[in-house]
Amino acid sequence: KVYNDYFFDEPAFNTHDGGYVPLEVADAPVSPLAIPPLLKPDKQTDTDIWYTVTAQAGETQILPGAKTKTWGYNTSLLGQTIVYPVGKHIHVTLQNHLSELTTFHWHGLIVSGPYVDGGCHAPVYPGESKQIDFTLDQPAATTWLHAHPCPSTAEQVWHGLATMVLVTDQHINDLPLPHNYGVDDIPLVLQDRRFHENNQWDYHADYDPDGVQGPTALINGTVNPVFDVTTQKLRLRILDGANRREWRLHFSDDLSFTQIASDSSLLPEPVQLTHLMLTCAERAEIVVDFAGYHDGQTVTLFSDDVPIVTFKIHAFAADNTTIPDHLLDIQRPTVDPSTPVRKITMSGMDESVMMDNKKFSMQRIDATQPVGEAQYWDITNTNDMDSGMVHPFHVHGTAFLVISRNGHDPYPNEHGYKDTIGVNPGETVRLLVRFDLPGVYMYHCHIIEHEDGGMMAQIQTYEKGKPMPKYKLMDMDTL
């Protein structure tokens, strides 16, 4: 079966927003798609691996003429791609070469909060460096690193502090999937910006409390990108790295593709699609088979009706591998029937956004949950269908399963582990959430201006029978 649907509710698409900024094809030359280099470890042994990640400011040649002032990790814009093998002890030095405080948030890594996971309670001050270390025990996935200082997460991500983090394990390495980074396995970080005078970005000029948008698609930091396809199959690791924009993706010729993974793992079974919608911070890995094309042809990736990437087909060797029908075993933890269902609401728009009818407060713990206990979380978006928006709900430090949408099955590509879920207006999405590590974790809307605007809360997880540890939580006023 091939699905031809975006699944989400059309009346809530961002195209209906009063402040919607449509994408436009930039009046700029075609450029080769930037492929971020893999970050080289400082050192590695059989059991341990060391990296240094530096947040820095710089200038990037994005358009002809003046360079654009941008920020990035270990590079001037976005970042180098980081690879974390599951099971190894990982040591990271976090360096801040910016002139303001930042944090290094591992979106999608199952590491302890509130310090190692790099939420707002883990500042690294200008000129400072900090060490963290952790060992990952989670399925292979496409995750990402972004800045998370409250309340300027949105602005720092907008400047460019976002990069992919690939979690790898033996299981995925053994599957017959494209694995050759930069050749047949490539990241696609989808963002949008407005270029002002002298090719500069201006966050404040473009500010919108419902999320900053720009008319120019920026893919891995490239405007009008073209990628040279030299293999029959291409794996795209797609991240909606935009502050606000939803991407509704489809190829020319309505070429179908296979989604193999979502945010936090492979899907249990691959899903065939012609259309794919991503809300902010969601990821999808897809495999595109160019068997029907030959040297010299092109295939275009669109968002709505605007071309965003051109794939130029070159001669390739025939590839007879097939994607297995079964990719990952998912064990659904059982929920004790006496455990109450946690009810969470996302309400409002613009400056009035709230989580559970409250604005975020850094020093308030909004909820608690024992480590290892599976709970149902019912996430309700109280916006009206006619005038509301899809709010992408994200939780730190865990990967959840999507149980239902308004009592119906989740969308066909939502059967793997996820950490971000788009909730339609008027909808309640039931999640199954379990934390493995004690700590404090934030949960919020991932329209980043909504997060900064207070549509965020935090939960403390604890080991049953042990005293609740006290964590030092930042205070907005001490920033």
Q: Which residues bind Cu ion (CB under 5 A)?
A: 107, 391, 396, 445, 447, 450
Q: Which does 148 bind (CB under 5 to 8 A by kind): ligand C2O, Cu ion, none?
A: ligand C2O
For the chain, give the longest Cα–Cα distance: 66
Q: Are strands 283-289 and 306-313 parallel, antiparallel or unpaired?
A: unpaired
Helix (H, G, I), strand (E, B) or coil at 16: helix
Residue with tokens 């309505």: 254
Q: Which does 146 bind (CB under 5 to 8 A by kind): ligand C2O, Cu ion, none?
A: ligand C2O
Closer Cβ to ligand C2O, 233 or 283, answer by number: 283
Cβ at position 206, least distance to Cu ion in Å: 18
Q: Which residues contact 391 (CB under 8 A, 6 or more apart)?
A: 346, 381, 383, 422, 423, 445, 447, 450, 455
Closer Cβ to ligand C2O, 68 or 461, answer by number: 461
Site track for ligand C2O across 419-448, x = CB under 6 A: -----------------------x-x-x--
Which residue in the set 121, 244, 396, 434 belongs to the binding site for ligand C2O (CB under 6 A)? 396
Cβ at position 119, least distance to ligand C2O in Å: 6
Closer Cβ to ligand C2O, 154 or 403, answer by number: 154
- Check residue 281 for interaction with ligand C2O (CB under 6 A): yes
d(CA 106, CA 141): 12
Cβ at position 447, least distance to Cu ion in Å: 4
Query: Exposed (0-12), middle (13-18) or buried (19+): which is 242, by Cβ within 10 Å?
Result: buried
Which residue in the set 146, 159, 418, 430 belongs to the binding site for ligand C2O (CB under 6 A)? 146
Site track for ligand C2O across 232-271, x = CB under 6 A: ----------------------------------------
Closer Cβ to ligand C2O, 394 or 405, answer by number: 394
Cβ at position 150, least distance to ligand C2O in Å: 9
Closer Cβ to Cu ion, 229 or 261, answer by number: 261
Closer Cβ to ligand C2O, 146 or 235, answer by number: 146
Three state DSSP letters for 320-382: CCCCCCCCCCCCCCCCCCCCCCEEEEEECCHHHCEECCECCCCCCCCEEEECCCCEEEEEEEC
**Amino acid symbol at 331:** Q
d(CA 253, CA 139): 34
Cβ at position 82, least distance to Cu ion in Å: 15
Residue with tokens 């798609």: 33
Do 52 and 195 meet the contact criterion of CB atoms below 8 Å apart?
Answer: no
Residue with tokens 């996971």: 117
Cβ at position 471, least distance to Cu ion in Å: 17
Q: Which residues contact 348 (CB under 8 A, 6 or more apart)?
A: 354, 382, 383, 455
Closer Cβ to Cu ion, 118 or 178, answer by number: 118
Distance of CA 427 to the CA centre of its chain: 22
d(CA 354, CA 123): 24
d(CA 78, CA 201): 14
d(CA 460, CA 438): 7
d(CA 181, CA 172): 14
d(CA 211, CA 209): 5
Q: Which does 283 bind (CB under 5 to 8 A by kind): ligand C2O, Cu ion, none?
A: none
343-355 b/e (C-beta count within 10 Å ≥ 16 → b): ebebbbbeeebbb
**Amino acid symbol at 144:** W
Closer Cβ to ligand C2O, 273 or 448, answer by number: 448
Q: Which does 445 bind (CB under 5 to 8 A by kind): Cu ion, ligand C2O, none?
A: Cu ion
Residue of minimal Cβ distance to ligand C2O: 107
Cβ at position 237, least distance to ligand C2O in Å: 16
Which residue in the set 250, 394, 405, 434 belongs to the binding site for ligand C2O (CB under 6 A)? 394
Question: Beta-carbon neighbour count of residue 360 at 10 Å?
Answer: 23
Site track for ligand C2O across 446-465, x = CB under 6 A: x-------------------
Closer Cβ to Cu ion, 110 or 177, answer by number: 110
d(CA 203, CA 422): 25
Which residue in the set 121, 148, 245, 430 belongs to the binding site for ligand C2O (CB under 6 A)? 148
Closer Cβ to ligand C2O, 122 or 327, answer by number: 122
Q: Which does 237 bind (CB under 5 to 8 A by kind): ligand C2O, Cu ion, none?
A: none
Q: Which helix (H) or strand (E) holds 451?
A: helix 448-452
Closer Cβ to Cu ion, 391 or 434, answer by number: 391
Q: Which does 281 bind (CB under 5 to 8 A by kind): ligand C2O, Cu ion, none?
A: ligand C2O
Residue with tokens 């006290």: 470
Residue with tokens 């297995």: 324
Token digits of residue 443: 């949960």
Residues 171-230 that bind ligand C2O (CB under 6 A): none
Residue of minimal Cβ distance to Cu ion: 445
- Binding interface with ligand C2O (CB under 6 A): 105, 107, 146, 148, 281, 394, 396, 442, 444, 446
